[in-house]
């Protein structure tokens, strides 16, 4: 067995087969969710709900509290986003747009509030014993804002996804979740294409007005 293979997958020797299978299923639906988001397709939310529900269970079982809270929030925001994306205004569905000044301020509030909240959770649980806890706190705040902006169809959500995904690739390798790390690597690429696709749509919409 190669050293690289051992590094990536040795941790799975202690996992139950059902948990490994669930992680793979969650990763597949996570791919689908991000791909549908890139396509500006409403299926981003039902596929996301399946992925996040599985990850909530697995991360709770593996005592990865910050990651679990991210996915609980994702689940809630997927329900909210599903509603926003299907809401009609003047006989038109919610369009892609840039964030307003108020939404920028709200984003900052969500970011800071998330940092404080996650810090408190980790402090109560006595989990400040590794550098990953601090990175976890940062990525949780980034993803919370990103998910909120995506639910509201704001193009800036992709920038936050790119930042969070890039940080998450080595973070999940360190945590021993190779499949999830690979997921975030592919998420990074899709997020870049997603930003470009949404920007093109937004520019075309502005040009048509």
Q: Kindly report the pTM of this predicted structure.
A: 0.81
- Strand, helix or coil at 96? coil
- Sort 69 into a burial class: Cβ within 10 Å, 0-12 / 13-18 / 19+: buried
H-helix or E-strand containing 176?
A: none
- In order along its 209 residues, the chain shows pLDDT tens digits of 566 555 555 666 667 788 888 988 998 998 899 899 988 899 999 999 999 999 999 888 877 776 787 789 889 999 999 998 888 665 567 789 999 999 999 999 999 999 998 888 878 877 777 788 888 889 989 999 999 999 999 999 999 999 999 999 998 888 777 777 888 999 899 999 999 999 999 988 777 65
pLDDT at 20: 85
């Amino acid at each position: 067995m190669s050293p690289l293979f051992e590094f990536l997958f040795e941790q799975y020797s202690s996992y139950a087969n059902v948990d490994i299978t669930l992680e793979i299923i969650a990763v597949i639906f996570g791919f689908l969710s991000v791909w549908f988001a890139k396509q500006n397709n409403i299926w981003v939310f039902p596929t996301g709900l399946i992925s996040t529900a599985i990850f909530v269970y697995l991360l709770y079982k593996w005592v990865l509290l910050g990651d679990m809270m991210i996915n609980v929030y994702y689940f809630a925001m997927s329900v909210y986003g599903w509603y926003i994306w299907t809401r009609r205004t003047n006989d038109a569905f919610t369009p892609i747009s840039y964030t307003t000044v108020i939404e920028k301020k709200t984003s900052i509030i969500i970011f800071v509030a998330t940092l404080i909240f996650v810090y408190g959770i980790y402090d109560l649980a006595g989990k400040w014993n590794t550098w990953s806890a601090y990175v976890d706190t940062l990525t949780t705040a980034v993803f919370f804002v990103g998910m909120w902006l995506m639910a509201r169809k704001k193009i800036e959500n992709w920038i936050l996804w790119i930042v969070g995904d890039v940080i998450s690739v080595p973070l999940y390798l360190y945590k021993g979740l190779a499949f999830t790390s690979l997921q975030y690597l592919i998420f990074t690429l899709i997020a870049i294409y997603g930003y470009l696709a949404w920007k093109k749509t937004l520019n075309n919409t502005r040009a048509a007005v």
